[in-house]
Amino acid sequence: MFEKVNPNHVDKQADRIAGALVDMAYEIVDNPRIAVEVLLGHGKCHIIAETSVNLKLKEVEKAVKRITQQEDIEVDYVEVPQDVHLANNQIGQIRCGDNGIFKGVPLTLEQRKLSKIARDIYEKYPYDGKYVINGDQLVICQSNVEDESWLKENYPNATINPLGFWTGGSNVDTGATNRKLGSDMGDSVTGGGINRKRFIKSRCFS
């Protein structure tokens, strides 16, 4: 069984916000130390960044509004320096657990198949969505679909919106960073901390 979420799933929006802030840090210096955690939902976005560089609040708010597509979202941004002992331990060297570990594994045929399905549906419906495949069984949970005829025509054997119509997004749901890593990475493994999001960042589709 494999699950995919699209870029507007609220957990994925949280990952995308974290990735955007990491990118900002890399635009300021070549090798920043930064970790970003995001909790998002119901008109609010809480962010804590442990960072060696200062990010401009206006740029942070701009990224959040762009990704969530909500101009009136309230952004609570907390920026703190990396722990001094951890920072000193990392000077001039790479230490496991601090700089991130990533072990890539090729996608299976099932994972590739669902990734394509997720991309194709997102082109038609650019709203919050989640998709699950288990062998020949496909479940499509796509928000903002009042007429299911396109989905039924293209995926005749799928179970579509088993819970009925829903609007999705951070107005009705909450999301957090890293909660959908398996959706992006399949059987790959991640670990470590400070720079890990530079590698996994905001990958929406494998």
Same domain, 90 and 119: no
pLDDT digits (tens, 9 = 90+) for 36-90: 999 999 999 999 999 989 999 999 999 999 999 999 999 999 999 987 777 777 7
State the residue range of the domain holding 130.
Answer: 2-7+106-169
Q: Say what the pLDDT of residue 101 is.
A: 57
Name the strand (E) or helix (H) holding 10: helix 10-28
Structural domain count, the chain: 2
Average of per-residue pLDDT across 87-109: 69
Q: What is the pTM of this model?
A: 0.84
Please indicate, yes or no, if residue 176 is contained in any of the structural domains.
no
**What share of the chain has pLDDT > 70, as a percent?**
85
pLDDT digits (tens, 9 = 90+) for 170-193: 888 999 998 887 777 777 766 544
Please indicate, yes or no, if residue 121 is contained in any of the structural domains.
yes
Whether 8 and 168 have beta carbons less than 8 Å apart is answered as yes
Residue 154 identity: N
Q: Say what the pLDDT of residue 194 is.
A: 39
Average of per-residue pLDDT across 126-150: 96
CA distance 121 to 126: 8
Name the strand (E) or helix (H) holding 34: strand 34-41
Name the strand (E) or helix (H) holding 176: strand 174-176
Same domain, 132 and 90: no
Please indicate, yes or no, if residue 40 is contained in any of the structural domains.
yes
